[in-house]
Amino acid sequence: MSPVAKAFGHLSAVYPDTVFSSIEQIEALVASLPRSAIFSAAPHGASAALIDKLLAKAEAAGTKPSVVDISADYRFATNAAYAAVYKHDHGAQSRLSQFTCAVPEHLASAPTPHIGHPGCFATAILLASVPLLKLGIATPTLFVSGVTGSTGAGRKPIEGTHHPMRHSDLYSYNALAHRHAPEVAAVAKAASGVDAHFAFVPHSGPFARGIHVTVQAVLAKPASTAELLEQFKQFYAHSPFVSVSATAPRVKEIAGSNYARLSLASDGKTVAVMSVLDNLNKGAAGGAVQWMNRLQGLPETAGLTAPAAGWT
């Protein structure tokens, strides 16, 4: 089998002899272990069937794996909702009821045995938006402007990640038509009980790691910046990876870590909430580990407390 270090050179010093396993080897492993943890980072549209196959093997063997899927395949509760966005039927419709999609900060515990991760832009937007909706702070139309680093597009070379095209540039894409908007609306409704509209304009930024999101909305009743900051601080008081402060958050403060930072401002009529996180960590792999820690009965922070890289 191919060495992991051949595909990911930065891991060669730590895992020089580790090789990739075949799907058959993984099936045998899942069937042989009473408990196991499965992270799926397969492409959208492919992940559902792979997970279904592994869970079928486990069920036949009487074992109980926990799954966290980082693709979009388990972010919707129904096939109809999934197909409306992705234009094809879900690859394992019978499994949908076994998955919940949420950020860990918005659910005390998982109501299902498996989790669908909301994704990077969605996590940043949800952290900023759910308190606005659940606490009745804002009316349910939210305007979102987000900037993501180039690593959010994956490893495959495309124009949007090509350095000469992206360096020192900033541009929007899929304005008011991004596929994450309906995902965010669905997860926000489940977390807050409010059916909200998200007018989302994503941007590509001239950096590699991180996401900066600004969510704006009309206040349901007048409130000062200080009052709203206190409500947000109380909302996330027991969330070890989310901090709220009066200081505007910066991407460099969280890049490379599982931490997220929030701040906000109010003019008495409207509110703007700023949210920053690392798209590959808190917005993907780190958030997935955070959920798996919960599913496995481990401390939520296990393996995730390394600070941001700082001035890289």
Residue extents of the structural domains in the chain: 4-101, 120-279
Is 276 within 8 Å of 249 (Cβ atoms)?
yes
Full-model pTM:
0.95
Residue 53 pLDDT exceeds 80: yes
**CA 266/CA 222 separation, integer angstroms:** 9
State CA 206 to chain mean position distance: 21
pLDDT higher than 70, residue 157: yes
- DSSP, collapsed to helix, strand or coil, labels residue 285 as helix
pLDDT tier, 166 (very low <50, low <70, confident <90, very high otherwise):
confident
Residue where the block lists tokens 């900033």: 170
User: What CATH number was assigned to the domain covering residues 120-279?
Assistant: 3.30.360.10
For residues 85 and 181, give the distance between their C-alpha atoms in angstroms, rounded to a whole number.
10
Instruction: Write out the catalytic residue numbers.
Output: 120
pLDDT digits (tens, 9 = 90+) for 286-300: 999 999 999 999 999
- Nearest CA to 69 among 83, 89, 87, 54? 54
Residue 111 CA to residue 78 CA, distance in Å, equals 16
Q: Tell me the helices (H) and strands (E) count for the chain, helix number first.
A: 9, 11
What is the per-residue DSSP string for 282-305?
Answer: IIIIHHHHHHHHHHTT--TTTT--
pLDDT for 312 equals 64
Across the chain, what does the average pLDDT equal? 95
